[in-house]
Structure 1
Amino acid sequence: MQSLRVLPRLPASRIGLRSTQAYTQLRTATSSSTSSASGPARKSVTIANDTGRVPWSELSWKERGARTTQQSANFAVVILGLVMTGGVATVLWLEVFSSDSKTAVYNRAFERVRTDPKCIDILAGRGKGGEIEAWGENAVRNSRFARDHISSKSETDGIGTTHMRMHFHVGGSLAVGTVNVHMTKRRDESDFKYHHLALDVPGHERIWLENAEAWKLDKRASGKMFGPGWQGYTYMHIWHELRLFADRSDLLRRS
């Protein structure tokens, strides 16, 4: 029978030191396995690389500031885009789609000229099938820039009436002329009305398609046909004059 070998007894201090070293090694191994299982350490979140994947609760104060700055910048860009879109839409409405826009007034005036018999006779000749074209500020015909640029001016006078003045060129197979437009809109009105619309062709008399001043003169002349001061008469004055005329006629019959 083999005798047992008796090992020397270690001091208590050495036993405690070995136990501490073993615990430290075990903890280090556990931490390493946990880190390897959870994946590599994430990068620091900045304004340039923040994608929003890291939860807010895991961000440091510096990283939270970077994310807040990035989101504020994105919000400002969105607001700027909305403002610019609204501005473009407003310009398009005022310049193109509104019934009071420069383009709408131009189209209505050209349609009046294009369908007027007198204008057709001078510019293209009636029955000849000639087309009448229109172009803008530039006097050169068939110019794309000239067609796009229409000369106009809008202003408001002292009593609140808005005036829009415009001129453009028209031409057919026989002649070329200039259309002059003057529109007015009073303070209590919603749409522009013609003050005058005329076609000027060299060598011909001016063709008036609309002339508010001539209408006023005709109205004054018709009032003067009945004697001075006729326009100031009211229905009561007329009734009084008729009663006097009837009384005089009755007196003449009796006599």
Structure 2
Amino acid sequence: MSLVVFNKLLRQNRCITQAVQFRFRNCIYYYFSRLNSHKSNTSLNSNHKPKNEVSDKIKPIKERIKENAKTASYIGVIVLGFGVTGIMFYTISKELFSSKSPNTVYNKALQRVISDNRVQDALGVPIKGYGEETKRQRRNHAAHKVFMRNGIEHMRMQFYVQGSRQKATVHLEVKENSSRDYEYRYLFIQLDQYPRTTIILEDKRSND
């Protein structure tokens, strides 16, 4: 091959190489420009959501009002339950622990009666007390009545005691004193069997 032909082929190869490089660079540039354009479009779509997509996440006002009303009703039921429970506990504690409750008056009077020597001799020991018999044959209810007389609170009560020999009926009345505590106006028992003897433990009716 002559030198002239060799130089001609070398120039042709250089031209082909430059053309290929140019085409390659254009392809690379076109690829990355398309890639960047896709990323920017994705970012815009994520930042600017359609109005209907945003509104779907917001509940209608009627539904929100309904849920708020339901929540308020639940809270009202809970508060009402606590209130009823508190009233029950207050009533029970007042009945059991108050010095002026019928239960307290009954227990004190019963202890006073069964510890009296005259009652023990008349009825025989041991002595137990009980109230009025109910339909279920329970005897834990002592009949009583609370009333006002001359602006002073009174309580009248009746219950029963039974010993080994006979039974008796207990009658009592208490009234408020200056300290607003109960004190006996009278307390006595009446034997059920003949002769119907009465044993008086307290009687202050003459002081009225």
1:182 counterpart (166, 173, 179): 173
Give the match's secondary structure for 1:145: coil
Give the match's secondary structure for 1:94: helix
Structure 1 runs (4+) greater than 4 angstroms displaced: none
Q: Does 1:210 align with 2:205?
A: no
CA RMSD of aligned residues (A): 3.0
| CA displacement, residues 186-210 of structure 1 (integer Å, 9 cap, x when unaligned) | 4x43210100010100324211111
- 1:168 is aligned with what amino acid? F
- 1:88 is aligned with what amino acid? M
**Residue 35 of structure 2: aligned partner:** none
Give the match's secondary structure for 2:186: strand
| CA displacement, residues 130-175 of structure 1 (integer Å, 9 cap, x when unaligned) | 31111101399xx8512x2221000112x21111000001001111
1:135 counterpart (108, 130, 133): 130
Q: Does 1:155 align with 2:147?
A: yes
- 1:137 is aligned with what amino acid? E
- 1:174 is aligned with what amino acid? R
- Alpha-carbon distance in 2 for matches of 1:165, 1:155: 8
Conserved? CA contact 1:139–1:169, under 8 Å: no
- 1:210 is aligned with what amino acid? E
- 1:197 is aligned with what amino acid? L
Higher RCO (C-alpha under 8 Å, 6+ residues apart): 2
Conserved? CA contact 1:182–1:196, under 8 Å: yes
- 2:119 is aligned with what amino acid? C
What count of residue pairs does the alignment treat as equivalent?
157
- Residues 1:144 and 1:99: Cα distance change in structure 2 (over 3 Å): farther
**Residue 187 of structure 2: aligned partner:** 197
**Residue 81 of structure 2: aligned partner:** 81
TM-score, length-scaled by structure 1? 0.55
Give the match's secondary structure for 2:121: helix
Q: Which entry has the higher C-alpha Rg, 1 or 2? A: 2
Q: Does 1:94 align with 2:86?
A: no
- Alpha-carbon distance in 2 for matches of 1:66, 1:119: 71
Structure 2, unmatched stretches of 5+, are: 1-37, 47-55
- Residues 1:209 and 1:154: Cα distance change in structure 2 (over 3 Å): same
**Bigger fraction of residues in strand:** 2
TM-score, length-scaled by structure 2? 0.66
| CA displacement, residues 58-116 of structure 1 (integer Å, 9 cap, x when unaligned) | 54322321221111101211221122112212321332221110000000000001100
- Alpha-carbon distance in 2 for matches of 1:185, 1:165: 12
Task: Percent identity, please.
Answer: 29
- 1:193 is aligned with what amino acid? E
Conserved? CA contact 1:171–1:177, under 8 Å: yes
